[in-house]
Amino acid sequence: MRVPVPAEVLPADRLGRVHFVGIGGAGLSGIARIMLARGLTVSGSDGADSPTLDALRAAGARVHVGHDAAQVGDADTLVVSTAVREDNPEYVEALRRGLRVLPRSTALAAVMAGRRVLAVAGTHGKTTTTSLLTVALQTAGADPTYAIGGELSATGVNAAEGSGELFVAEADESDGAFLHYTPYAAIVTNVDADHLDQWGTPEAYAAAFDEFADTLDPEGFLVCVVDDPGAARLADRHEAAGRRVVRVSAREPGALAGVPLWSPGEHYLADALAALAVGRTLGLDEDDLVRGLASYTGTKRRMERKGEVGGVRVYDSYAHHPVEIAGDLQAARVLAGDGRLVVAFQPHLVSRTRIFGTAMGEALGAADEVVVLDVYLAREDPDPDVTGALVADAVPLPRERVVHVAGIDEAARELVARARPGDLVLTLGAGDVTHTGPQVLALLEEAGG
């Protein structure tokens, strides 16, 4: 559901009591955590219980499982996830009572108010780059507030209130949220068409990044990873328009040459270089920034190691676009060493699978064994013509090395049947495929691994 952005964005301390519908999601939970740290009264609801809800309860939020109009309580402001449907009883109740209703983008802008915002945008790599920038700035003594689309492994949280003036934020383009932040500085990792259900065409999607760059503070700067053609074109256009632009490239690692990073792969190096460029341009100590980047231990669901049993290593990653799949398989191939790469992939969204399903399958051809699950529906209705079979049929491997299954239980069994000692098992996708890795490890244990 798309909630209109109000003409005036109020700072968080003027929102009164705030109720979040979909509070367990990566975006809303982070905003709620920051509001709680500032002493605001926060409540919320989500469709299922989770460790995230437990953590918010511990921080002082009143959180419900399931949705009911009565749970809005005495809230003054309702914040709504894009995954929420228009018939959600809490949303309907807020409209009936005339409450202030905000989309995620406006709620994030509200907690940004009064801070110097550093926004991280791009089709791929936003969460990793935001995380790297946060850790680098912390190590350099800046202590920023941060809001990330995943949990930092070092802290176990996706957002925290800092004591400094900086606010590091993952700027999501999927629903146009990144057009409402007015950052001082921004990173664009790449511009590679996605979310065409929102933007319509690749051209419109690219134009949105131009509009995003136009929202920057005139005194600020733009960092672009120019290994990506879309980001390189963006850099050229905005430099020609007089904006301060910093270009980085994994082919010219500079201060990070020889620095051990948390994961192999050119795209991870590019993410780290972009984070370094922001800190350096802000005038922070380069040695401290590099030390922070070298100390980074990852973010949950971004090439996250889940464990090892019987010589089989299991990793999990959020990759759900063909370019992300290719990048993670490149990194996983290095991690696998002499072992084979056994992959389970769950397509995310009917609309994305309809457009990119064939390319997803082609990217999966870099693995040795592939298990494709059915589409994770999220906020969309099913389409019988768009299933995991569309992806599986496009994988350029012998048929016996590719299988299409319905769900995570069957996927776990297939992965165990195909993996052998020395192999690396990688689960990919933005849906509940993340639960497959622990099942694989448990089944290997049961088998005497």
What pLDDT is attached to residue 323? Answer: 86
Answer whether 322's CB lies under 8 Å from 356's CB. Answer: yes
Last residue of a domain, one of 103, 134, 166: 103
Residue 129 sits in the same domain as residue 233: yes
The reply to whether 438 falls in a domain is yes
What pLDDT is attached to residue 293? Answer: 96
Residue 283 sits in the same domain as residue 320: no
Residue 356 sits in the same domain as residue 231: no
Residue 327 sits in the same domain as residue 275: no
The model's pTM is 0.81
The reply to whether 358 falls in a domain is yes
Q: Is 228 helix (H, G, I), strand (E, B) or coil?
A: coil
Residue 264 sits in the same domain as residue 380: no
How confident is residue 151, by pLDDT bands cut at 50, 70 and 90?
confident
Query: If you average pLDDT over every residue of the chain, what do you get?
Result: 92
What pLDDT is attached to residue 195? Answer: 63
Last residue of a domain, one of 243, 264, 295: 295
Gyration radius of the chain's alpha carbons: 22
Q: Are strands 304-309 and 312-317 parallel, antiparallel or unpaired?
A: antiparallel
Which positions make up the binding site? 122-128
**End-to-end alpha carbon distance in the chain:** 46
Q: Is 284 helix (H, G, I), strand (E, B) or coil?
A: coil
Closest among 108, 115, 275 to 175, alpha carbons compared: 108
Q: Is 225 helix (H, G, I), strand (E, B) or coil?
A: strand
CATH of the domain at 279: 3.40.1190.10
Residue 155 sits in the same domain as residue 268: yes
Is residue 309 within a helix (H) or strand (E), and if so which, with residue range?
strand 304-309
74-123 tens-digit pLDDT:
999 999 988 888 999 999 999 999 999 999 999 999 999 999 999 999 98
Residue 291 sits in the same domain as residue 329: no
What pLDDT is attached to residue 99? Answer: 97
The residues near 218 (Cβ < 8 Å, ≥ 6 apart) are: none
**Domains identified in the chain, total number:** 3
Residue 428 sits in the same domain as residue 286: no
Closest among 165, 126, 130, 128 to 145, alpha carbons compared: 165
Q: How far is CA 433 from CA 215, 241, 268, 379, in A?
A: 36, 44, 23, 16
Residue 290 sits in the same domain as residue 315: no
- Is residue 160 scored above 90 in pLDDT? yes
What pLDDT is attached to residue 26? Answer: 84
The residues near 206 (Cβ < 8 Å, ≥ 6 apart) are: 191, 193, 230, 233, 234
Please name the residue that has the structure tokens 């495929």: 433
The reply to whether 6 falls in a domain is no
Residue 35 sits in the same domain as residue 165: no
CATH of the domain at 82: 3.40.50.720
What pLDDT is attached to residue 318? Answer: 86
- Is residue 268 scored above 80 in pLDDT? yes
CATH of the domain at 312: 3.90.190.20
The reply to whether 5 falls in a domain is no
Q: How far apart are CA 326 and CA 231, in angstroms?
A: 18
Closest among 18, 4, 31, 322 to 176, alpha carbons compared: 4
The reply to whether 69 falls in a domain is yes
The reply to whether 223 falls in a domain is yes
333-365 tens-digit pLDDT:
989 999 999 999 999 889 889 988 999 999 999
Last residue of a domain, one of 77, 103, 129: 103
Q: How many C-beta atoms surround the C-beta of residue 369 within 10 A?
A: 21
- Is residue 32 scored above 70 in pLDDT? yes
Residue 308 sits in the same domain as residue 167: no
Answer whether 94's CB lies under 8 Å from 151's CB. Answer: no
CA atoms within a 13 Å half-sphere pointing along the CA-CB vector of 140: 26
What pLDDT is attached to residue 58? Answer: 96
Closest among 66, 310, 116, 290 to 216, alpha carbons compared: 116
**Domain limits at 25?**
12-103
The reply to whether 7 falls in a domain is no
The reply to whether 221 falls in a domain is yes
- Is residue 319 scored above 90 in pLDDT? no
Residue 408 sits in the same domain as residue 433: yes
- Is residue 201 scored above 80 in pLDDT? yes
Catalytic residues: 126-127, 170
Which positions make up the binding site for ATP? 122-128
Q: Is 144 helix (H, G, I), strand (E, B) or coil?
A: coil
- Is residue 169 scored above 80 in pLDDT? yes
What pLDDT is attached to residue 430? Answer: 87
- Is residue 202 scored above 70 in pLDDT? yes
- Is residue 255 scored above 80 in pLDDT? yes
